[in-house]
């Protein structure tokens, strides 16, 4: 997105009654411009995607003391390494830090997703072959 | 040269990617495992990959800071290597290598413990395929009647992969994608993307900087595709 495009969006925002405009360009790059009360504009440009990481995103402590294992990339979720192979883990299984829990595939790149925590798998939030988004919760773990 | 700085060569292995996994801790970056034949070669999701003598079956151990474009550069390197040996193949997103509409090569990339195992298969001088593969798979020899010297193609491939990997580490993504566009058979074509839960059809417009395919659906909506299998729509 070029500077003059951003200028045009700012002008549209100034002369309208809306307080925020978000535009996504051809390549998926997003820009969101928010009208502030002190007459300045906050400009936030978001990257089109996040870099691929091998490990699951940092898990977060949620309600009920459960911890989520999240997808580090956009892709397709697979529970097992091959269609006829058993799943990596199931509900009730105890996992260790560094243990592979699933695969997320993007562009024929098979990312083995590992658990960051030791605990028991209590929820599986996606089904085999579901498309998953960046940072989407895949499993909930009860820390041990 | 990083790629091939250490070479593990065998007459036969079950799978070069599986063997590479046993070397993750010890092998230096750029190490290559090369075999004459694989007895249990694998493609995506455990699908069998026919890999008798006459092809190039190899895996490369890499530790890139960002592995997302590894599949893309592997496709470019294979095309360059064949091109330099007098054959001009094409790329079907993300990394199938095709000649006369038939698949003659592909890659399988796995990320394990922060290490990338890049498996590359090129059907070079294979004379025949099992019946079930005949309609979709072929070899350089069958399509061109040229017998290319395997060692020469392998050496060129390592050199070109090394060059592409250096470009990736130097963040020359624009140059790499320009080259990918040159080799791909998809730009402007009507395709069907087969995803696990649905199918998406439309016209291919471009590839984005992170390697996603940009497709315009018939209703004009523009989609970014990161997963799925791409087929050219039959006319």
Q: Report the relative pairing of strands B102-112 and B115-122 from DSSP bridges.
A: antiparallel
Using the Cβ of A54 and the Cβ atoms of chain B, whether some distance falls under 8 Å is answered with: yes
Exposed (0-12), middle (13-18) or buried (19+): which is B85, by Cβ within 10 Å? Answer: middle
Of A26, A49, A81, the CB nearest to B46: A81
pLDDT by residue (tens digit) across A104-130?
A: 998 888 899 999 999 999 999 999 989
May I ask the CATH class of domain A50-144?
Answer: mainly beta
Q: Tokens at residue A24, please?
A: 């996504």
Using the Cβ of A131 and the Cβ atoms of chain B, whether some distance falls under 8 Å is answered with: yes
pLDDT over 70 percentage in chain B = 99
List, as one string, the DSSP characters of B24-88: TTTSPTT-EEEEEEESS-B-GGG-B----TTSEEEEEEE--S-GGGHHHHHHHHHHHHHHHTT--
pLDDT by residue (tens digit) across A2-50?
A: 666 777 777 776 767 677 777 776 566 667 777 654 443 444 444 444 4
Of B95, B111, B196, the CB nearest to A111: B111
Q: Do A109 and B71 touch (CB under 8 A)?
A: yes
Which residues 12-31 of A are in CB contact (within 8 Å) with B? 26-28
User: Interface pTM (ipTM) of the complex?
Assistant: 0.74
Which residues 105-164 of B are in CB contact (within 8 Å) with A? 107-114
Task: Write down the H helix ranges in chain B.
Answer: 16-22, 70-84, 131-134, 140-144, 150-169, 173-183
Distance CA A125, CA B3 (A): 40
**For residue A128, what is the nearest residue in chain B, using CA coordinates?**
B196
pTM: 0.78
CB < 8 Å to A107, chain B: 68, 71-72, 94-95, 211-212, 226-227
């Amino acid at each position: 997105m070029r500077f003059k495009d951003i200028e045009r969006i700012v002008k549209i925002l100034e002369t309208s009654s809306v307080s925020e405009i978000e535009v996504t360009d051809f390549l998926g790059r997003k820009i969101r411009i928010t009208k502030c009360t002190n007459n300045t504009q906050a400009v936030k440009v978001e990257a089109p995607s996040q870099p691929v990481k091998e490990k699951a995103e940092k898990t977060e402590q949620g309600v009920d003391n459960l911890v989520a294992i999240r997808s580090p990339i956009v892709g397709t979720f697979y529970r097992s390494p091959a269609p006829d192979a058993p799943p990596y883990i199931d509900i009730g299984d105890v996992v260790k830090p560094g243990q592979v829990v699933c695969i997320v595939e993007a562009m024929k790149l098979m990312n083995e997703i590992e658990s960051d925590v030791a605990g028991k798998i209590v929820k599986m939030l996606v089904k085999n072959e579901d498309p998953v988004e960046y940072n989407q919760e895949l499993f909930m773990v009860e820390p041990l | 040269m990083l790629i091939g700085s250490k070479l593990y060569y065998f007459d036969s292995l079950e799978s070069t990617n599986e063997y590479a996994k046993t070397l993750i801790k010890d092998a230096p970056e750029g190490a290559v495992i090369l075999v004459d034949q694989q007895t249990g070669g694998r493609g995506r999701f455990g699908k069998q990959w026919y890999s008798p003598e006459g092809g190039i079956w190899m895996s490369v151990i890499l530790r890139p800071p960002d592995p997302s474009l590894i599949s893309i550069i592997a496709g470019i390197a294979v095309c360059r290597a064949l091109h330099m040996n007098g054959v001009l193949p094409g790329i079907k997103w993300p990394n199938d290598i095709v000649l006369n509409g038939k698949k003659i090569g592909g890659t399988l990339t796995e990320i394990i413990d922060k290490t990338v195992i890049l498996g590359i298969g090129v059907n070079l001088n294979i004379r025949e395929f099992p019946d079930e593969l005949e309609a979709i798979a072929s070899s350089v020899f069958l399509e061109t009647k040229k017998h290319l010297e395997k060692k020469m193609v392998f050496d060129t491939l390592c050199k070109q992969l090394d060059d592409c990997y250096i470009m990736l580490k130097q963040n020359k993504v624009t140059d790499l994608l320009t080259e990918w566009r040159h080799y791909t058979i998809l730009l402007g074509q009507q395709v069907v993307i087969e995803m696990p839960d649905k199918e998406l059809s439309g016209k291919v417009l471009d590839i984005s900087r992170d390697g996603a395919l940009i497709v315009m659906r018939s209703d004009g909506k523009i989609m970014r595709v990161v997963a799925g299998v791409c087929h050219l729509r039959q006319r």
